[in-house]
Structure 1
């Protein structure tokens, strides 16, 4: 039926919507926490998703520049043959780059490890190498006055104490630093290096005499296609693979220029999205409290509607519509802020990200955040709405909701369950790592249930404790367990946020202690790479004379890449998330007659010294992640030859010792006659200081310029910095959960304001002083805050312990500072907000309450 033309537009709206709009006129203040919780949670999810999209879009857009061409073909320890080069050149211009680690020595004697990059005249095929001074790369690297040129980054200049124009020695060559590298277009494709960049030409590399049989060098051939279309690129890669099946090329294309970085972006984005979802779930408690508080304030209106004949469905529909309108406002605010976040972050982090970002409004990320917000609203508001519609008119006309509780129909419990199941389903379907997402969600749900149990236990204990003689203590104890007590909400709101922060702080502490403490103590002092086999005895004697008492260990080493497992090509294998890295690039491999130190045989038998069959020993956990078992065959490409070996046994490796060990150790007959180098370690005796290590480093660089020396302490310091930066970012992101918890706590205390007003007025009428009441409420809030902090410390410690010992497999370190911080935060917020509300309650005029008693 159509409304007459003279009827006002508002009157044409459905009845429930009209009532909801009228009710909203005075509800803005009471729903501040509701809006804030939804806005914050939706903003964090939308912002993280949009910023991750900006990163991945930036990587995709700059993929050609990051890779240095349309396709890159990498070989380890050998150069491409003329036939292979011709195959690559058929696609377009080719640039050849050699990458290896080496030692650079200044004329003052200072020496340091560098990431040496030797480029040809075509470099860079794509992008621009920016230098200071800005001159052609070929001119800067050319030979002048008997010395080749080199380009160094600022870090290298600082470490060696040199400047542009000074000379440095690398291997057998003397180089003149002719400029400083300020921007390297393909730096990201190389990953994280152990040393600063030093760039030279191909002729200079030959002069260093660093390239020997078995030397650890990567030859990268970048191709810029004449026809750069995607189908042409895929066809070209396929032609190269078919034309050189035995070459062992590691192939990358512009659409996956930095796969490790893309994976890390995805994992961090997933973690931060789950943290945002946790904040939204915590905010759901605030949403439920706000709805319950609003319905309590509207009890007279609800009673009037029901007395005038409104059905339960009409009441439910009116307030569900009202909640939906408010949720739409909160979600919309969160989406606006989340959409703006990538642009703000891009502006703030532009100097820290080495490629142009592509911030944009991501409809997919915004839609996901909106869906999360809507599902959380449904899950946390259906139950209080259902309870309100079930309350009888006689109870609604009292000054407070009666204590009689009627259980709503089962359908509402089913609907709540469906909303929660939908939340879990959406989180699982959109997860980068399904297993990690499910573990995270299960842990969050477990903590929710556990927090509820802790609150009920706390109330039960308070109910059974002997009554203290002190009036303030007796009143505080009664407030903890009385009907309508704030205990469940306070414990739930603060507990989850504090547990998360405590766990992150303890994981950070354990990692830091492992790297700078126990790991540094167990690790060797030096690693030596590319030690020529023919010189090893002389090298060992040199170290024995310069570092008496130091322990020297060595093993033969080659580099190889897994190309097939059990006859299945590596690219078709679907490994577990923990084992995927083994297939992503080349690996160090070794051969030995005996079980390596730091390894324990857990399955199968070790081969004897006379074994002639090609056998391999695989690390146990990685073998399981790759679906391998004893008897399976593994094919590796080493020096351009594909070698297939049978898995004879599985080992458990203690990687934390930082000793010499490998994923794969072969029987010696497998590589009989193959050129190889030696990997060695030197562990200084107790009492050796940093000055002794630096002095030895200088002597080694001077006496053996072709041997790469890695000082472990410097590598650990770099790792410690990376962990510290990552932990700081994660901790800042996790503060969103704590901020939401604080909002929920403030909303819960605000919702209980009317109860405190009644209590305060009655007690003041009976003779209680303001000081006694403040003291009683202070004891109540301090007790709740302390109990919540104790739980948060316990839950956070247990979570961190499991992550550190079971996932990271390192030692756990407890941090008293983290525990005290959780206690301090809990007490500060519960006492602060609680006493602020109490002061307002004590200031309320008694006459408004007394006249209704």
Structure 2
């Protein structure tokens, strides 16, 4: 593009802005960029904050967890990359005080712990909170140790060969929630005292954790450097890999945020497409004049292309600033829930606005611009716009632009393809239905009031314009319905996936004769005992006569799974909350050999339907085909198993039992252990509280961004209606010239808006119901529950919303003298 073309484009832009010719297009583009950039800013900052908050559950951004101390080279590499470091060594051992001994989990930590999150303590000086670690010679313990040993702050506690002073009671330990077996008392002391205790010897069961934290790029680079150096005894953990419950919450949040961003893209694209069409349709005669004065088609395209380039840059910059202001205002409103000091937005968030404007205009303005080159000079003598041959370039460029924006906004190509595929299908279906309805309106005689008859006739008079309007407005209304009604269904189902009475305790090692005692304990507090599931340890030996060896797999997780024992169970009925990816459950009284395998395990180890598996259970081989693959909700806090067999076939195998429940009161678990000394109670209340807190913050973030996108959708709807103002203006002028009164004209306009809104709302409601069901099942793994009221609600809301949004724009038409309109047409 030449410098002269850029200068002419800039002068043309300034003239058009002063004349008001670019008002609708600029407004549509500003709304588009503001909506997308504000969502980009908000989602980027919220995701950074939530990831940082979720990392508090790990006390770091990345952890190497192994059974040997980390080499010095790992520490040196972390230091070179500017990462913060801390270390911990965790192992079980006996704690001695007041001539008593108690088994506890000991954790020796270095200075700087925790790197993420805060420790909460009760000291002799009062409550303390922050990044705190025990000083050398001091020891911290939780309330369980203090109660069992009758300790008070200041007492002496012996660990192996050394005595340490109890200086604080631990109220909250960030990564304590990540340890599933945190059911025994926990003790923290300084890493410098570890050697003096003499507790770590050859063969000791110690887990060494090297924790690092820093900016995302440095952590990712360090992970990439460290991963190839790990052996099978050491693994890397981040918060998502360490706890599947947190991983599920974060994954669903990313998809919710991505859905909001993508719907904002669709709303913006519909308005810009109509605005570009309106602007170029009004200025084709200017192009013909330029051709008559000697400019070539390419020169004309360059001048108008430079105008749109400048417009995209201006709208991109202004919209990005406005988007930042919108999200800053939302953060101020939500500060009491989200907290202050959110991370600054990344550079990519600042670039999203200008790039979105460029991509939108390139996708929707480039085909009409190329068509301008073919307008001949003799067109100055014509009153109507010359017809141009239709090509596939316009829809292809529009789809490419939408796909690019979706991938940019969502950051998830799978999600973008799913929803864009649904959008294309929806647009095709809406276009065909709209064309059929418009053709029907032309053939079916309508009776009733004059306004209703002429309103329907106006839609049928220009079928292509009606189809374009219906398609564009249907996308907008579908997005608005999704943002309002379907949003409540999705977020409600998400929050209900972790109900208020979610289990907070696991009970393992229960024996079959002890079920009666468990029933009696729960009966005393007026509750029914939870159903216990049998569990036994089993090792996978063969898959279809192929011996299973860890060395046969490249994936680290697959290697660990191939070499470990599984918790295998048997049941007559399917486990509650488990869905089926393939196959079906066996009959209740089945005695036939069969295995039901969790879908993720099957994918990792390459197990398919019909494969024959061989397990070893205490020296006995059990062989059976895979008859079903299950979808397991690992975030349900219910006992779940990788492999399940029919109770009638394997029910005679010896086993212990496992169950989960919500403790009726604070001391219930202590009474249960006293009555059943052999069982182990695992308190997961800390994990439940943390996951509920994460989901609460995520739901608030999603709600806030849905509100933002809803406001943007209303503005985009207004811009889309404004883009068709010229066609209606000419129709009104003809009616007035033929003697129609102002009241009759108003009735016709309102009736046309009602027809348009009702039809588009009906189609949008059907589309929102279908897309909502698709999103719930395919993207969020939520139960299918379509809202059957959406089509009717869509028709009613469509008529009301389109009428309210369109009437202020079109009211001026009835006041403009028809001679002025016809003279300038």
- Under a length normalisation based on structure 2, what TM-score does the superposition of the two structures give? 0.69
Unpaired runs of 5+ residues, structure 1, are 1-11, 76-83, 100-115, 152-175, 204-217, 683-692
Counterparts of 2:29 and 2:696, CA distance in 1 = 31
3-state SS of paired residue (2:756)? helix
Contact 2:12 / 2:307 at 8 angstroms: preserved in 1?
no
The residue that corresponds to 1:651 in the other structure is: 628
Q: Across the two proteins, how many residue pairs are aligned to each other? A: 738
Contact 2:17 / 2:23 at 8 angstroms: preserved in 1?
no
Q: How far 1:465 sits from its partner (Å)?
A: 2.0
- Structure 1 residues 61 and 35 mapped into 2: Cα distance closer, same or farther (>3 Å)? same
The residue that corresponds to 1:702 in the other structure is: 671
3-state SS of paired residue (2:531)? strand
The residue that corresponds to 1:628 in the other structure is: 607
Q: Does 1:509 align with 2:497?
A: no
Q: How far 1:585 sits from its partner (Å)?
A: 14
3-state SS of paired residue (1:680)? strand
- Structure 1 residues 139 and 34 mapped into 2: Cα distance closer, same or farther (>3 Å)? same
Contact 1:118 / 1:200 at 8 angstroms: preserved in 2?
yes
Q: Does 1:797 align with 2:775?
A: no
- Structure 1 residues 736 and 647 mapped into 2: Cα distance closer, same or farther (>3 Å)? farther
Q: Does 1:496 align with 2:487?
A: no
Task: State how 1:631-780 maps to structure 2 within 5 Å.
Answer: 648-653=625-630, 661-665=640-644, 677-680=656-659, 702-704=671-673, 726=698, 729-730=701-702, 732-734=704-706, 738-780=710-752
- Structure 1 residues 520 and 73 mapped into 2: Cα distance closer, same or farther (>3 Å)? closer
Q: How far 1:792 sits from its partner (Å)?
A: 1.1
Q: How far 1:480 sits from its partner (Å)?
A: 1.1
User: Which of 589, 592, 595 does residue 567 from structure 2 map onto?
Assistant: 589
* Larger CA deviation: 123-132 vs 696-705: 696-705
The residue that corresponds to 1:157 in the other structure is: none
Unpaired runs of 5+ residues, structure 2, are 76-85, 93-102, 154-165, 190-204, 213-217
User: Which of 356, 364, 384 does residue 401 from structure 1 map onto?
Assistant: 384
User: Which of 127, 131, 145 does residue 121 from structure 2 map onto?
Assistant: 131
* Larger CA deviation: 761-770 vs 422-431: 422-431
Counterparts of 1:808 and 1:697, CA distance in 2 = 34
The residue that corresponds to 1:685 in the other structure is: none
Q: How far 1:782 sits from its partner (Å)?
A: 1.0
User: Which of 417, 426, 431 does residue 396 from structure 2 map onto?
Assistant: 417
- Structure 1 residues 631 and 545 mapped into 2: Cα distance closer, same or farther (>3 Å)? same
- Structure 1 residues 774 and 749 mapped into 2: Cα distance closer, same or farther (>3 Å)? same
Task: State how 1:327-338 maps to structure 2 within 5 Å.
Answer: 327-337=312-322
The residue that corresponds to 2:754 in the other structure is: 782
The residue that corresponds to 2:554 in the other structure is: 572
3-state SS of paired residue (2:21)? coil
Contact 1:789 / 1:822 at 8 angstroms: preserved in 2?
yes
User: Which of 190, 196, 210 does residue 178 from structure 2 map onto?
Assistant: 190
Contact 2:34 / 2:319 at 8 angstroms: preserved in 1?
yes
Q: How far 1:294 sits from its partner (Å)?
A: 2.6
- RMSD over aligned Cα atoms: 6.1
User: Which of 803, 809, 812 does residue 840 from structure 1 map onto?
Assistant: 812
Q: How far 1:588 sits from its partner (Å)?
A: 7.5
- Structure 1 residues 284 and 616 mapped into 2: Cα distance closer, same or farther (>3 Å)? closer
3-state SS of paired residue (2:360)? helix
Q: Deviations over 1:304-348 (max 9, x none)?
A: 323333333333222222112101212233444567788777777
- Structure 1 residues 319 and 626 mapped into 2: Cα distance closer, same or farther (>3 Å)? farther
Q: How far 1:679 sits from its partner (Å)?
A: 1.2
- Structure 1 residues 14 and 236 mapped into 2: Cα distance closer, same or farther (>3 Å)? closer
- Structure 1 residues 742 and 597 mapped into 2: Cα distance closer, same or farther (>3 Å)? closer
Counterparts of 1:788 and 1:341, CA distance in 2 = 30
Counterparts of 1:91 and 1:305, CA distance in 2 = 69
User: Which of 70, 88, 96 does residue 95 from structure 1 map onto?
Assistant: 88
Contact 2:523 / 2:529 at 8 angstroms: preserved in 1?
no
- Structure 1 residues 90 and 393 mapped into 2: Cα distance closer, same or farther (>3 Å)? closer
Q: How far 1:840 sits from its partner (Å)?
A: 0.4
The residue that corresponds to 2:272 in the other structure is: 287
Counterparts of 1:760 and 1:472, CA distance in 2 = 12
Q: How far 1:788 sits from its partner (Å)?
A: 1.1
Task: State how 1:276-675 maps to structure 2 within 5 Å.
Answer: 276-337=261-322, 358-362=343-347, 364-367=348-351, 370-391=354-375, 396=380, 401-402=384-385, 405-407=387-389, 413-414=392-393, 417=396, 420-421=399-400, 424=403, 433-468=412-447, 470-483=449-462, 487-503=466-482, 505-506=485-486, 508-509=488-489, 512=492, 529-533=507-511, 536-540=514-518, 542=520, 546=524, 553-557=531-535, 566-568=548-550, 572-573=554-555, 589-592=567-570, 602=583, 618-619=597-598, 622-624=601-603, 626-629=605-608, 648-653=625-630, 661-665=640-644
User: Which of 201, 220, 228 does residue 187 from structure 2 map onto?
Assistant: 201
Q: How far 1:803 sits from its partner (Å)?
A: 3.9
Q: How far 1:815 sits from its partner (Å)?
A: 4.0
Counterparts of 1:498 and 1:520, CA distance in 2 = 32
Counterparts of 2:332 and 2:374, CA distance in 1 = 53
Contact 2:32 / 2:267 at 8 angstroms: preserved in 1?
no
Contact 1:616 / 1:648 at 8 angstroms: preserved in 2?
yes
- Under a length normalisation based on structure 1, what TM-score does the superposition of the two structures give? 0.67
